Every structure is written in structure tokens, then in C-alpha cells.
Amino acid sequence: MKQMKKVLFVCLGNICRSPLAEAIFRNKAQSLGYEVDSAGTAAYHVGKDPDYRSVAVALKYDVPISHKARQFEAEDFEQFDYVIAMDRSNYYNMAALVSEKPSNLFLMREFDSEADGDMDVPDPYYGGDDGFEQIFVMMSRAIDQLISHIQIEEQA
């Protein structure tokens, strides 16, 4: 019996990008049986719901979203098959928690065919609603390719 793949999305505070990515992934991959969660590298919002703008854009696209913010821990590298950082800052902060770079640590936009060199999913927290719309579309596209990547690896 094949082991269920586990995916963790990580941003800074775990209220904007990563819970939205978790919701998108869960919605797109629900029939595949993957487990998904999200976390933040900082503890600013632990226990809080996603930002209302993340909730609004998820609802606009009929993507159910429900999460309580939590902080990323080094042990998460052992618990998840894929740890997906939203930007380079979060990527390096997570990598610094362990002695060598984990093979399961990726940037979200590594799976985005339209990344064109900028590998960060921008943090929309201090901007308007359009920033949340932009990251929803960007992450949705990357998650399609991430799911394909996981399925190809499972068949290898």
C-alpha cells in the first residue's frame, strides 16, 4: 500500500498566503488522498484564523478555507514529504533550523511555469484586495503543477 503524501505550505505569519495555498491544494487534490497543512515561520498570529481577504478570495473561487495559524518547527521536515515556502526569506529561515538543506524543501514558484526568475509569492498583507487575487491565481497555477509533480514521483 502506498503511503499518503503530506504537503506543508509555509509563509511568514500563516494567515495570508500559506492557509490560502493549503485551501487551494485541498480543494484541487481532495480525491487524491493527500494530507495538507500550513504554518508560518513567525509566531505573530498563532491560533488566529486566516486574514479576511484570504477568506474572501477563496470564497470567490468556491474554495473552502479553514485554518488556525501555527508556527513552523524543524520537526515538520520529518512529518511532511513536501515543505513549500512562499518566498526566499521563509525558505532560508526554515533551512537555518537544520544542519543541512532538507531534500523536501521547495519554493512554491519552482512549480510555476510563469515564474520568470522571480521565485517569491509576494506577501499581500499590507496591500489591497487585488494582491490577494494575484496570489490566488499564481498559487493555483503552481499547485496544479505541484500536484502533477507529486503524481509523477509516485509513479516513478
Residues tagged active-site: 11, 17, 123
- Nearest C-alpha neighbor of 19 from the set 47, 59, 50: 50
136: helix, strand or coil: helix
Positive or negative CA dihedral for 77, 79, 82, 86?
negative
d(CA 83, CA 7): 6
Q: Looking at this protein, which amino acid is placed at residue 8?
A: L
CB 49 within 8 A of CB 15: yes
